[in-house]
Structure 1
Amino acid sequence: MSPKTAKSAYTPARPAVTEKGRRTWPVVLGIVLAFAVGVPVGLGIAHLGTNDSDQAVAEMQRAEAHRDAARITELTTMARETKQVVRPVVDGLTLVAPDDGSAASQATAAQLSEWKKVMEQERQRYSETVSGSTGTNVARNALGAAVNLLSTSLDTYSVAAELPADRRPAVIELAARQRSLAVATWSVAATQLDQLNVDSGNGHQHVYLTDAESAVMDDGFEEGSHG
């Protein structure tokens, strides 16, 4: 008789669930749910923050453009005023210290005194620092440099006037070169200022220092036009 096959008495044991485990699962589940909900919300808040930041930057740029447009207008007005008062100095130095060295006359002490007052006034005007855009700062600094060069030319001529006659021509020639460089520097500044005015919506503004300079730099556009 074959032995009776007995049913196995082995039953896999279930893992015991401890009190600690029952407390841990809700915490884990809560963390998972919080992460699932928090990530989209966080991304949404970040997106809103980015939009707000972009709007703030755009607003700052508009405000700065508005301020710079005002600075361009102020600088153009100042350049016109400077042109009006220094033009007699330029014309006077051109007569007594021409480029070819053939001076037909000599400036009087009264003329030199008056010219020096004008140039000192204008040097002080451009010594003030007014911050604007790079282009506006370049134009202002170039105008100031031209004024300083013209003032230096006048100082050089004043020294020449006190020298013996045989030493005077070389120094007067130096004064003439400084005057020409001042006019050329102003021309660069005036070209920059003209472009700034066009870009800011004011149209062409031509503030060249001499008639000869205006003729050379003539762009064919009428004053205030937007061509």
Structure 2
Amino acid sequence: MSRRTGKPSYLLTPTGRPRRPGVRAVAGIAVAALVAGVVGALIGLAVGRPSETEARINELRAAEAERDARQIVELTALARRTGERLSPVVLAVTRAGEAGRAPDVAQVRQWQQTMRQLTEEFADPPSGGTATNVARGGLRSAVEQAAVAVDLAALAATGPAAASREQLALAARQADLAVATWSVAATQLDQINIDAGQGHQHVHLDGGEEHGAMTPDGAEEGSGG
């Protein structure tokens, strides 16, 4: 009787060695990884890219910032021109009130003409940012108050002498209020110039410190931008 033998070793399946993945499996894994990468990139692009509405909002904000920066420069130039003409008028009205002596009628008429011109400069204000609108509104209010002061001085110059002294005193008080109002607006204008990168821009009226108005901070013109 012959001995029973097992299968030859070359027919046995190795048990200790892992099978290597086939070509199809490797290709499948590569395709899956590629697809996952593309999908991830598309998702990231969709998330990171602003929507059409967001893009439009950003455009409007940029346009608004550009418009406000331009208006700040224009308003500052207007304030300088106005202040140069307004300062001597309110100062003269204040001194007339302190002295109790009515100014010359021709002089008062000239002041009234000046105030009408300055008032017209602020008659049709453009719409801007809130901070700019506040500064512009303050300057406009100051000019209107100064115009009232000049009209009171005109009454004193053309009316009965008995009421002249009281009218001049009221005119002086009104002029002081105009200077104080202007100083608040000028301080606001200085700040928004700094915020806009223009640096300090001082447009306060001369002699304001004598009547309790806010005064420039002393910083160098154009610094701090």
> Which of 149, 155, 158 in structure 2 is aligned with 1:153?
149
Structure 2, gaps ≥5 residues long: 1-42
Taking the aligned partners of 2:44 and 2:199, their CA distance within structure 1 comes to 45
TM-score, normalised to structure 1's length?
0.72
Q: Counterpart in 2 of 1:142?
A: 138
Matches within 5 A, 1:87-126: 87-98=87-98, 102-103=99-100, 105-126=101-122
Taking the aligned partners of 2:214 and 2:148, their CA distance within structure 1 comes to 25
SS at 1:166 equivalent:
helix
Structure 1, gaps ≥5 residues long: 1-42
Q: Do the aligned partners of 2:94 and 2:173 also contact (CA within 8 Å) in 1?
A: no
Deviation at residue 46 of structure 1 after TM alignment:
8.4
Note the alpha carbon deviations across 1:9-57, whole angstroms, 9 max, x for none.
xxxxxxxxxxxxxxxxxxxxxxxxxxxxxxxxxx999858853322321
Q: Do the aligned partners of 1:187 and 1:213 also contact (CA within 8 Å) in 2?
A: no
The letter of the residue matching 1:141 is G
Q: Counterpart in 1 of 2:75?
A: 75
Taking the aligned partners of 1:213 and 1:72, their CA distance within structure 2 comes to 25
Q: Counterpart in 1 of 2:174?
A: 178
The letter of the residue matching 1:217 is T
Of all paired residues, the percent bearing the same amino acid is: 44
Note the alpha carbon deviations across 1:77-118, whole angstroms, 9 max, x for none.
0000001112221221122123xxx33x43112211111111
Matches within 5 A, 1:177-216: 177-213=173-209
The letter of the residue matching 2:147 is S
SS at 1:220 equivalent:
coil
- The alignment covers a number of residue pairs equal to 181
SS at 2:162 equivalent:
coil
Deviation at residue 157 of structure 1 after TM alignment:
1.3
Taking the aligned partners of 1:202 and 1:49, their CA distance within structure 2 comes to 33
Q: Do the aligned partners of 1:149 and 1:178 also contact (CA within 8 Å) in 2?
A: yes
Deviation at residue 168 of structure 1 after TM alignment:
1.9
Q: Counterpart in 1 of 2:24?
A: none
Taking the aligned partners of 2:214 and 2:177, their CA distance within structure 1 comes to 15
- Cα RMSD between the aligned structures? 2.4
Taking the aligned partners of 2:50 and 2:224, their CA distance within structure 1 comes to 37
Deviation at residue 129 of structure 1 after TM alignment:
2.3
TM-score, normalised to structure 2's length?
0.73
Note the alpha carbon deviations across 1:175-219, whole angstroms, 9 max, x for none.
111111100110111011000100000000000012343995231
Taking the aligned partners of 2:49 and 2:195, their CA distance within structure 1 comes to 33
Q: Do the aligned partners of 2:108 and 2:153 also contact (CA within 8 Å) in 1?
A: no
Change (3 A) 1:79 1:113: same
Taking the aligned partners of 1:146 and 1:216, their CA distance within structure 2 comes to 13
Q: Counterpart in 2 of 1:59?
A: 59
Q: Do the aligned partners of 1:204 and 1:222 also contact (CA within 8 Å) in 2?
A: yes
SS at 1:207 equivalent:
coil
SS at 1:222 equivalent:
coil
